[in-house]
Every structure is written in C-alpha cells, then in structure tokens.
Amino acid sequence: MWLLTQKRIQCRTVLLKKKVVQSSACEICGEADETPEHIMCGCNLAKELWQHLNMPSMLAVDMDSIHTITPRGGIPHDKFPTFLALVCWHLWKARNVMVFRNELQSLSQVLAACKHAAEQWRYRFSRKKKHLADAWCQIFTMARQGPFWTLGRALIVLGTQISNRIQA
C-alpha cells in the first residue's frame, strides 16, 4: 500500500521509464497508460469492483490522496484503511494473474478472494474488532450479488411498502 501511494509499484509507466518495456499501454484493456490510478481505479475490473462495492469515489482518486477516501454504503469507518488495502491487494493480484498467467479473473473471483482474506483478518483481530471482519465478509457477499446493493435494498423496501399499500 505504501508503494502504491508513493506511485512506485511496478506499473508499465514506471517500467517504460526504466526501459524494461516498450510501451506503457495497459495490457488488459489497451485503452490507457498503465499508471497506478489506472490499475486501481480506471481499468475495467477495478471500475466494476468499486461500483459493486458502492464506492464511486474510488473511480477518480489520485493515489496521493487515497487516504482521504471515506467509507460509505455500510462499510465500517474503523479499520477502513485495512479494508481498502485488502481490496487493492486482491485487485493487484487478479491483474497479475491475468497478465502473467493469461487467466481471466472475474469480478466474482476477486470478491471471493477478498472475502476469504476478510475471514483471515477475523482471526487476527481482537475480540472487540471481529465484528468489522464480519461486516466486510457481508459486504463482499452482497457485492457479488450485484452493484449498488444499497440502492437495490432500498427499492425492495419501497416495493414491499407499495405492495402492502395496494393490498390494504
């Protein structure tokens, strides 16, 4: 995470400067230069991931100011940087699998890996903090079910209210 905020992760814009690669274009979408921001916010999988996690503020953040992002949509404030680091780490890992092993990674797979990691964090957290890992697990499960789940849930509640009124 520290390397990420310092913009020193081994992305192709850095590798091009070091003359390790010939082009800085993203190897996954080919639509932009592979900068830390593109990897974490702009590339297809990243965009989908943040949308499903209901964190649109991550779609246009500069890595220098990633610490200014505040949680929303039911994500706990406590240990939020850990949550963010967990998601970024699994996004980065999924990208590497796609680039180096040529294996497609679905959003569902990334979210499952995030959930697994959250379960591991549950063991590491003190008893007082275990509920945070539980909340994370729930968020990853719900994100797998679709984007904007908060909105979806609100619509379900509204729908039930309307049908109750029709029946009454």
Q: Which one of 4-12, 24-32, 52-60, 92-100 is the stretch in contact with Zn ion (CB under 5 A)?
A: 24-32
Q: How far is the CB of 153 from Zn ion (least distance, A)?
A: 31
Q: Which position among 41, 43, 107, 137 is part of the footprint of Zn ion (CB under 5 A)?
A: 43
Cβ within 8 Å of residue 112, ≥6 positions away? 140, 144
Does residue number 63 form part of the binding site for Zn ion (CB under 5 A)? no
Total of chain residues touching Zn ion, rule CB under 5 A: 4
Q: How far is the CB of 40 from Zn ion (least distance, A)?
A: 11
Six-digit token string for 134: 């539980």
If the CB atoms of residues 40 and 142 are measured against Zn ion, the closer one turns out to be: 40
157 vs 155: CA distance, rounded Å:
5
Q: Which position among 4, 28, 55, 111 is part of the footprint of Zn ion (CB under 5 A)?
A: 28
The one-letter amino acid at 65 = S
Backbone angles phi, psi at 147, to 5 degrees: -75, 160
153 vs 3: CA distance, rounded Å:
37
Give residues in contact with Zn ion (CB under 5 A).
26, 28-29, 43
